[in-house]
């Protein structure tokens, strides 16, 4: 299995779009590629190449649907409740049609449908993920402050990089700590792996509701 974590940014912000590719080796994921500054075509090329080698599981940190009429999806409301109970801030869950989110939502929807149309040799599975919730739901209560601080503080990102290694993500270079988008891409892979692998399970999941919401949402 190949597991891909994508921290997607808006269509004009290729610089902050980060992709990580891992290969499952028994009970861990081995990093095989880490890239940023990616266009849609760059991402599709990477997914296609991996799909010629093995089954591919992709966790995308971006809305992959929106609520008809605007505002929160039911999944957004439920995940917001879940993370608040963990001690996290509610503001990290934003409606897909919010002004500052709408271009990211557009890119997420477009990219996910294009991935589905790839001429893959092996199956490709897609899940929408929330990296902060993936981290926060697996940290101990006494360490929840690290997920509250990692967007701003390098020391918190250093802790989370080491913690990700303890979760089974191996060969993570220290440079991944430099900014939060790479941490998010690794966490997206962790969430997708736990969602898909039979020996693991998601900490929270909102099942797909086709046709308007065609992908599971999990952490």
On whether residue 184 sits in a domain, the answer given is yes
- Overall number of domains in the chain: 1
On whether residue 194 sits in a domain, the answer given is yes
Give SS3 for 52.
coil
pLDDT (0 to 100) of residue 194: 98
Q: 43 is in which domain, residue-wise?
A: 2-198
Q: What is the pLDDT of residues 119-143, one digit of tens each?
A: 999 999 999 999 999 999 999 999 9
**pLDDT category of residue 210 using cuts at 50, 70 and 90:** very high
107 pLDDT higher than 90: yes
On whether residue 217 sits in a domain, the answer given is no
On whether residue 127 sits in a domain, the answer given is yes
On whether residue 207 sits in a domain, the answer given is no
Global pTM exceeds 0.75: yes
26 pLDDT higher than 90: no
pLDDT (0 to 100) of residue 207: 98
pLDDT (0 to 100) of residue 98: 95
Q: What is the pLDDT of residues 158-175, one digit of tens each?
A: 999 999 999 999 999 999
On whether residue 91 sits in a domain, the answer given is yes
Residue at token pair 């610089």:
15
Q: Which helix (H) or strand (E) holds 205?
A: strand 205-206
Residues 6+ apart with CB under 8 A from 55: 1, 2, 122, 123, 124, 125
Are the CB atoms for 128 and 188 separated by under 8 Å?
Answer: no
On whether residue 149 sits in a domain, the answer given is yes
28 pLDDT higher than 90: yes
Nearest one of 176, 70, 195 to 130, comparing CA atoms: 195
On whether residue 209 sits in a domain, the answer given is no
């Amino acid at each position: 299995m190949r597991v891909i974590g994508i921290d997607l940014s808006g269509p004009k912000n290729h610089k902050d779009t980060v992709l990580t590719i891992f290969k499952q080796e028994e009970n861990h994921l081995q990093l095989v590629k880490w890239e940023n500054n990616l266009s849609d075509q760059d991402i599709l090329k990477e997914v296609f190449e991996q799909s010629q080698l093995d089954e591919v599981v992709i966790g995308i940190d971006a809305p992959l649907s929106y609520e008809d009429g605007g505002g929160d999806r039911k999944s957004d409301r439920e995940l917001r409740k879940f993370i608040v109970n963990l001690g996290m801030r509610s503001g990290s869950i934003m409606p897909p049609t919010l002004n500052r989110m709408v271009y990211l939502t557009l890119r997420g929807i477009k990219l996910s449908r294009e991935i589905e149309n790839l001429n893959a040799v092996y199956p490709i599975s897609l899940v929408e993920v929330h990296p902060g919730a993936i981290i926060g739901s697996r940290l101990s209560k006494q360490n929840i402050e690290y997920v509250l601080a990692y967007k701003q503080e390098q020391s918190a990102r250093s802790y989370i990089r080491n913690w990700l290694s303890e979760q089974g993500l191996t060969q993570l270079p220290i440079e991944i700590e430099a900014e939060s988008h790479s941490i998010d891409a690794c966490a997206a892979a962790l969430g997708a792996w736990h969602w898909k692998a039979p020996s693991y399970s998601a900490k929270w999941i909102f099942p797909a509701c086709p046709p308007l919401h065609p992908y599971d949402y999990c952490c």
